Structures are given as C-alpha cells and as structure tokens.
Copies of this chain bind each other. A is one copy, B any other.
Amino acid sequence: MSDKNATIYDIARACGVSPATVSRVVSNSGYPVSERTRQLVLQTARQLHYTPNLLGKSLKAQKSRDLGIIIPNISNSYYSLLLQGVYDEAIARGYNTILCNSYRKPEIEEKNINTLMAKQVCGILLVSIGKQTEPIRRAMEHGCQVILMEQDLNIDCVKVGFNFYKGAYMATRCLIEHHHRRIGFIGAPLDRSSRIRMVEGYRQALADHHIPEIPRDICLSETERDDTQIYEFENGRAAATYFIDMEDRPTGYVCVNDMTALGAIRTFQSAGLSVPQDVSLIGFDNIPYSEISSPRLTTIDQCTYDMGSLSTRMLVESIEEPKKPHSSITLEPTLVERDSVRTL
C-alpha cells in the first residue's frame, strides 16, 4: 500500500481530472460538478483511502475547526466533568478539542495560550488561574474568540460564570435554617475570585441572620500542593482536625468543595463524631461522588457539565457569528439536600 496519504493530486491523476475538480467534490463545496465525475472521484478517493489533510485545508482557509480548552488539571473530577461537557458539545458541532492543563501555574497558562494560538485554534475556553490579561487580550486581537469560564477576570470578553457568592450564601443559610447558630467555613487559599466570593457569601448570610462572625471558625488551608482530588481531601482532613481540637466547635460547616467536605467528614467520623448527628457539613460542586458517599452529601450544585457544554455552545456561536454581540452569563446555584445536614 501507499506509504503516504493520498492527496487530491493522486486522485486527480487516477481519474484524469484536475485537482480543482477533486477538491470541489471531496470538500462538499456545493460547486457544480457533473454527476459522472463526482461519482468517479468519490469512488477513487475511497479506493485510495483518501483522508483530507487538515493542515493544508486550515492553512489555506486561515482558520481551523479546533477549540482549545485550558483547565488547571484534568485529574480533578470536577474538571473532567467540565471537559466532558465541552467535548460533547464541540463534537456535536463539528469541532475538535485540544486540551491544555495549566497545572495552576500562570506561566504555563500563558504558554498554553500561545501554543493554542500557534495551532490556529478558532476559540479558547479558559479557566484562568492567573491575573494576567495581556495574553488573552492578544489572542482576541488576533481574531481568536475567548470565553472565560468559572473564574472572573478584568477583561472585556464573553464570560460564563457561576454565582459563587450566592452558592455559599445558600449553603450557609441552609445550615441556619436547620437551626445551626455556630457555623464554620472550611476553605482554600483566597487566590481566586470564586473563593473570595464564597467567603463573602458565607459572611453575608451570617450577618443577615444576626449571627456573629467568629474569625477562628474560618479555616483556610494554607498551601495548595497538587490538584488531585486527594489533596483536597487532605485539606478537609486538616481542617476537621483543627476543629476537633477546638473546645466549643461549630455545629455546622460550609465547605469550599465536595472533596474537602468528604475529607472532613471522614476525619470527624474517625474521631468518633457522627455526621450528621454530631456535626453537619455541606459541600460545594455536586461531584458524582457526593451522591455515593456515606452519608450522602448535602451540597450546592454547580451544573458543571452544563457549564462546559453551554460555554462551548456560546464559543461556537461567537465564532460563527462574530459580528453579533454576545453576552455573558452567570449560572445560578441549586441546593441539593441529602443526608449530611441535621436539624438541631
């Protein structure tokens, strides 16, 4: 067999027609070609196992059908669910996906953007962990559509956000409505807009219900080592240990995400405290695991998959209709009540 891929020239030669004609047929251009030649070309193409070279095609067209997606880390199940949403929607609309992990490092995020630009992607979905807006701005100037997901940034582009403030507010209020009056917050470093907003929501809920805020009830892990689920779990463990040592500890806890909540729960349980009998916890994300843990986790749903598919739909639309103004959107949280919160 041919060692190399067949090109339109090979087909043209085999059929005794011009490359132009072959191109018109195989690319489904709609350009008129006699039915006879069309069939001949199609058949020869099949015989030669012709696969169009997308590089040539994209180079000529000055654009590709590739979408880039930049996330912190794929092994985090939250992001893998987000990616699934992105991927499914992209495929459904005829686009391919090029994955980039930023590993939570702004330098790598910037490098990722450059790589994607070099590959001439027509759009980028970005969960940014930096504050840099320059690379994004440049990408947009070069005609690349960018959609910011999850994390907000001071730049004028389409954003698909999530109301973290309200989510944390709802979580806190949930505990309050179950008559908790001493509520802890188990969080992570406040290095991203989402987390800052969450603490604000927590505090506002407390204030609105005339519950005094106690600084030592907020426990933020100091460092973030890796991004696997296990580290978040460990953060939860550490926080629970902190609270277990506290004489008069809170009865309820709002956690920054589900894995952290699960780590805390397991640690409380190991210390002989029953959940939700002795302590109540509420998570954030609604990852698949939260439904199968024991107790099943009460949490805030972030419709992660939908966020991925919606972002992709919006990205594709803004690629295909660049002139039309495209507005941003903020997804709203839903409380998912399961078994980790008890009424006092």
Binding site for B on A (CB under 8 A): 1-5, 49, 51-56, 58-59, 64, 73-75, 77, 80-81, 83-84, 87-88, 91, 96-99, 101, 114-115, 117-120, 138, 141-143, 228-230, 233, 262-263, 266, 269, 288-289, 291-294, 305
Contacts and interface: CB of A to CB of B under 8 A. Distances in A.
A228 B101 CA distance: 22
Contacts of A55: 55, 58-59, 64, 119-120
B291 A1 contact: no
Given A4-B142, A101-B87, A141-B2, A291 B230 contact: yes
23 contacts: A3-B141, A51-B114, A51-B142, A53-B59, A55-B59, A56-B59, A73-B84, A74-B74, A74-B83, A74-B84, A75-B305, A84-B101, A88-B101, A91-B101, A96-B98, A96-B115, A96-B119, A228-B288, A230-B288, A263-B292, A266-B294, A289-B289, A294-B294
Contact of A142 (B5, B84, B120, B294): B5
A87 B73 CA distance: 10
Nearest to A227: B84
Pick from A64, A77, A114, A117 the residue with the most CB of B within 10 Å.
A77
Nearest to A292: B233
Contacts of A294: 266, 269, 294
A98 B98 contact: yes
Contacts of A114: 51
Given A55-B64, A55-B119, A263-B292, 18 more contacts: A1-B141, A51-B142, A53-B118, A53-B120, A54-B119, A56-B59, A74-B74, A74-B80, A74-B83, A74-B84, A74-B87, A75-B81, A75-B84, A77-B80, A91-B101, A97-B99, A99-B99, A266-B294
A75 B77 CA distance: 7
B138 A4 contact: no
A98 B262 CA distance: 33
A288 B59 CA distance: 43
A87 B1 CA distance: 32
A55 to B, nearest CB: 4
A27 to B, nearest CB: 12
B54 A118 contact: yes
